Amino acid sequence: MLCALLFGGPLCVSAQTAAMAEKYPLGDYEELTDTKPHDGAEVWNALKKPVGLSWGDTDTRYKKLDVPKVENNTLWRAKAWKGERVNGQAVLWTAEALDDVTVTVSDLRGSGRVTIPASAVEASFVRYVMTDELNKGGGGGCGHRPNKADWDSSVVADVLDTVSVRDLKPCSAQPIWVNVRVPQDAAPGTYKGTLTVSGKNLKPMKLRMEIGVVNRTLPEPADWKFHLDLWQNPYSVARYHQVPLWSREHFDAMLPLMKRLAAAGQKVVTASIMHKPWAGQTEDHFDSMIGKTRKIDGSWKYDYTVFDKWVDFMLNEAGIDGQINCYTMIPWALSFDYFDQATSRVQFVNAEPGDSAYAAYWLPFLKDFSRHLRGKGWFEKTAISMDERPMKAMQEAIKLIRKADPEFKITLAGNYHDEIQADLYDLSIPYTHKFPEAVKAQREKNGQISTVYICCTEAFPNTFTFSNPAEAAWLPVHAVAGDYDGVLRWTYNSWTADPLRDSRFRTWAAGDCYIVYPGNRSSIRFERLIEGIQNAEKIRLLRGELKANGNDAGLKELDETVALFTPEGLKKSQMEPEAMLVQLQELLNTL
């Protein structure tokens, strides 16, 4: 691709070439081969009917080459609040090749002339992606995975495709994910409609849908209080789409992806204020969004062009405007980039927090950054963000930030530290780690945010591509149960080299790097996460309502159910997360 060579980076603005489309598909694509043992021809040929269609459930990743274990269930019944999105899953399976299969949905009709229009229902073919497994012998999914052959790999259903016409191979299953967005102005009551699967050589097959709309309203995602923080990686999007970084084409490619994130209730914009804030750990490393030039007279010049464009885009186009988290003053590799006017090269300061060289690099920047942010009206939203580092380093960094501007917000995605927690506007700590009760209360009173941090560490609950889909929905309720303000997942879209087909990466269990797919494709994981966030919001609203109404019994029942979503609750109840969710959702829709 000539244009990509032009300036050493993804500078080509032309349409994807054929080679690139194959490397980075946005439209249809071939999945990797499922090499696992599966139902043979004798099983498929023994089917009474060569093609089957049934409702399944949203907790199952149906296997690609097995006859799905579903009852012939033709009715999907769900309950939802006005404004809520609900998920269902059907499965089509066939012993014969099917061509040009499409799925259509009807309007869902309520009593009288009210409807949930078909346009509010999204039916997606579920696609298969290569995954691996947890670390052997337990202990989550962290660590390096240089040799793929060392890990048990298989294809799993996760991608929600945007391609609407598919050919199915003989002896294969094709799950269909259904997402119904109940309008906020829908009249309560029962809405009924149909889902129709048809094809060139397939007579239309129908399933029924029935959504019971409860007379309670879930606000728009922007008004959700749940603090969702999935780190965005704009560099991955530029690479995958082969568009020049920060060009209009780049922003156009990001817009649906970031709007999808906004619609999940995301509150935070991820910004990088140095080269490789996480030592380039992802397939596409983060560069600095702020240019720092050291002039030959020793003075500094800062270029906020990229930072401003990115933040402005996220705030005003994508609609994510709660917070701007700027990484990082204490990366793992204490090496800080600047463009050196003397040599016309990028040079690095190697210095530790507390060193005079560290202060010489950061202090003038932080002062100028504060001035710039105040000028843009963004200062109140912006935080200087850190990852877990040695205590002394964090303390020295905080000291310096305060010196530059005492009002700077500071965030940490790390462990709980009594010594510095009061300084941290937003502190995210791992599952099972805890804030002391009094500290949590004080933080809430101060308007400080406390969240649960999910990365490779947790075997459960997590959102790897092989994770039980229910875990994604379980997690936000867990945050509510622990009185946290939300959840931080360390990445939204740090795509792997071939993210649509292979979610494995050189480090960490597969799927850890991203939860949505290229081509603005959602995933089972992401939709279930949103389900969990909606539950969190519903709990919050119901608690308020029950308190206001003095409904102590209802409040107690709700609190008891929510309390299940804790390590202790899991242990004591011996319930599966799926069952907890069923119990909770039934309660949230009937209380």
Strand ranges across the sheet with 291-294 = 300-303, 291-294, 335-340, 345-350
CA distance between the termini of the chain? 60
For the record, the structure tokens of 123 come out as: 């039916």
The nearer residue to its own copies, 199 or 277, going by C-beta atoms, is 277
Least spacing, CB of residue 257 vs its own copies, in Å: 19
Least spacing, CB of residue 299 vs its own copies, in Å: 12
What's phi and psi for 407, nearest 5 deg?
A: -90, 0
The nearer residue to its own copies, 62 or 358, going by C-beta atoms, is 358
Q: Chain centroid to CA 31: how far?
A: 22
The nearer residue to its own copies, 357 or 391, going by C-beta atoms, is 357
Distance (Å, whole) CA 390 – CA 331: 11
- Burial of 209 per CB tally in 10 Å (0-12, 13-18, 19+): buried
Distance (Å, whole) CA 568 – CA 564: 7
Least spacing, CB of residue 296 vs its own copies, in Å: 4
Distance (Å, whole) CA 581 – CA 541: 17
Least spacing, CB of residue 304 vs its own copies, in Å: 11
Instruction: Show the CA angle centred on residue 479, arms to residues 385 and 513, nearest 5°.
Output: 55
Q: Which of 497, 585, 590, 468 lies closest to 536, judged by CA?
A: 585
The nearer residue to its own copies, 136 or 345, going by C-beta atoms, is 345
Least spacing, CB of residue 355 vs its own copies, in Å: 9
Q: Which residues lie near its own copies (CB under 8 A)?
A: 2, 5-9, 244-247, 275, 287-292, 294-296, 298, 303, 305-306, 309, 337-351, 356-357, 360
Least spacing, CB of residue 5 vs its own copies, in Å: 6
The nearer residue to its own copies, 24 or 307, going by C-beta atoms, is 307
The nearer residue to its own copies, 109 or 372, going by C-beta atoms, is 372
The nearer residue to its own copies, 283 or 458, going by C-beta atoms, is 283
Distance (Å, whole) CA 23 – CA 2: 16
Least spacing, CB of residue 330 vs its own copies, in Å: 18
Which residues make beta-bridge pairs with 197?
103, 205
Least spacing, CB of residue 199 vs its own copies, in Å: 45
The nearer residue to its own copies, 303 or 312, going by C-beta atoms, is 303
| Amino acid, res. 338 | Y
The answer to whether the CB of 199 falls within 8 A of the CB of 104 is no
- Burial of 536 per CB tally in 10 Å (0-12, 13-18, 19+): buried
